[in-house]
Structure 1
Amino acid sequence: MLRNDATKLSLILLMTPFILWIVLLIILPQLGIGYLSLREKLGPNDYKFGFANYVDFLQEPIYWNTLLRTAWMSILVTILSLFVGFPIAYYIAKIARRRSRAALFLLCLIPLWVSDLVRAFGWIVLLRETGIISGALQSVGLIEGPVELLYNDVTVVIGLIYTVVLFMIVPLVSTLDGMDNSLLEAGYNLGGSRFTVFRMIVVPYAMPGIVAGCIITFMLTAGSYLTPILLGGKNSMWFTEQIYDQFITRYNWEAGSTFGVLLLVFTSFVVWLGLRLTGQNLASTVAKD
């Protein structure tokens, strides 16, 4: 009896911080944003409830075009992160020696030791007109004068991939590490080529990790603010900038809340669509044994 009570108490003590985190920092703020998005400001301290903010969003092409552009760029970054991260994850999980896996994983973690702001300024130092890369190209004679490599979509994509690729690698390593090498040997013994074994054995087995990594990467990219703004400049047109502009610059919390809700709903829809297309679900993806 005492043992059962101690077990229940331990479980409560362990779960209380997590539950408080979810309720206070996720659920309540989202409910508050949803409440504000339904308020239409008629005058000072004069509001009415309705969907006028959502109608205004749909009637302004620059807003929903920016949302669609952000979604498309986020999908592109997710796909490229998968192509970059999968070989790294496969090497760590199946090829590298067990002693060196920790060191390789540590190398992947190094970018997270500094903030997004520092990483973005690092790219600025490298790519600006008077930066390291421009100076190196001039010194070897490949270009005659300084060249500006910042403030374009390519730079934004590179910066975002560098920021989120680790979140693609981690679930892939966890999934691939559980794959028995005998499956690969059986594929080769049955006459399969490397591409066939990869397509028929490795990819299906790693699909939960692929989907989990894609979900995390896509959500982080769509919600990114500093990297697109600093590396893309005025040409970035990222939806989070629109949200910041409504909240901070215009002090229009109703419109900013509407944009936040729409970003959450739209990205959730993209994630749901991706799960449907891949035949996965959150239970098998997140809670895979």
Structure 2
Amino acid sequence: MNSSQTRLTLILLLSPFLLWLGLLVIIPHIDMFFLSIREKVAPRTYETSLANYAEFFTEPFYWNTLARTAFMSILATVLTLIIAFPVAYYIAKMLRGKTKSILFLLCLLPFWVSELVRTFGWMILLRETGVISSSLQWLGLIDGPIEFLYNDVTVMMGLIYTSMLFMVVPLVSTLDSLDDSLIEAGYDLGGSKLSILKEIVIPHSMPGIISGCIVVFMLTLGNYLTPILLGGKSSMWFTGQIYTQFITRFNWELGAAFGFLLLIVSSTIVWLGLKLSGQTLASTVAKS
């Protein structure tokens, strides 16, 4: 097969993906950008302006909400990593055969239903008349019903729960490739569990850590259902502001500006994370 045939085959193989990428990702983002720099000056009359971005920066509520959303998303990502890493290590290194497959399947089971159903499950557990409050009353631990919903702790629990799988999978994949003999050699040389974790396990699993953190952070930052349903109207999540502008106020220009700002903030934080960890996006994707 000559080079021209190889090139043609490659183009044909990539064309569905490139078409999908162009029609569903690139073109909508370009359209959103042009929509965000449009200002309505009269009925059906628009002019190019940065007024929508200026409104974001001059209104403290908007940028405070975005800053809070970014901080909560970073915190959720860190907590998800802390919880998921021991689980992934146990699955990858401690289990063998059917037991390993069964435990990994148990991690997948909750994600066979939609995020909406899973979030409603949390609401059934945590609401004032829910399972937890009723059980505590039945045990005599509390005098009356307690509302566990509509606070930051509940939102954080929901975000971690809905993101856990996307951290566990890349970690298991990376830890599976770690040769057990390296860990054994570390113990033979007198290394402690902490030193082996620090010098061998974590450096080897870094691509999986970065990959999982990127996915979890992006999903958490752009999450709408979990913060709104578990946090209520006072959840102050930036995707709620975008929804309000598009659906409630029909201010598509400001909503597009908010969406584009969210994209810029998320991309910037991911870029900073890669720089601080000394990783590159290409190497992370290739190794995880």
Q: Sort the TM-score into its range (normalised by shorter chain).
A: over 0.9
Paired residue total: 288
Distance 2:67 2:235 in 1: 13
Matched, 1:215 2:199: no
Give the aligned partner of residue 136 of structure 1: 135
Structure 1: gaps (5+ residues): none
Give the aligned partner of residue 81 of structure 2: 82
Moved more, 251-260 or 18-27: 18-27
The Cα offsets for residues 111-168 of structure 1, whole Å up to 9 and x where unpaired, read as: 1111111111100100000000001111111111100000000000001111011000
Give the aligned partner of residue 109 of structure 1: 108
The Cα offsets for residues 233-285 of structure 1, whole Å up to 9 and x where unpaired, read as: 02210000000000010111100000000000001111111111111110111
Question: SS at 1:234's partner residue?
Answer: coil
Distance 2:8 2:221 in 1: 40
Structure 2: gaps (5+ residues): none
CA shift for structure 1 position 2: 9.0
Give the aligned partner of residue 167 of structure 1: 166
TM-score (norm 1): 0.96
Give the aligned partner of residue 281 of structure 2: 282
Kindly tell me: are residues 3 and 268 of structure 1, through their superposed partners in 2, closer, same or farther at Cα, counting changes over 3 Å? closer
Give the aligned partner of residue 245 of structure 2: 246
Kindly tell me: are residues 41 and 4 of structure 1, through their superposed partners in 2, closer, same or farther at Cα, counting changes over 3 Å? closer
The Cα offsets for residues 213-242 of structure 1, whole Å up to 9 and x where unpaired, read as: 000000000000001000000221000000
Matched, 1:96 2:98: no
CA shift for structure 1 position 102: 2.0
Distance 2:83 2:42 in 1: 52
Give the aligned partner of residue 45 of structure 1: 44
The one-letter amino acid of 1:94's match is K
Give the aligned partner of residue 29 of structure 1: 28
Kindly tell me: are residues 201 and 150 of structure 1, through their superposed partners in 2, closer, same or farther at Cα, counting changes over 3 Å? same
Give the aligned partner of residue 14 of structure 2: 15
Question: SS at 1:81's partner residue?
Answer: helix
Give the aligned partner of residue 194 of structure 2: 195
Matched, 1:184 2:183: yes
Distance 1:58 1:187 in 2: 53
CA shift for structure 1 position 17: 2.0
Distance 2:2 2:53 in 1: 56
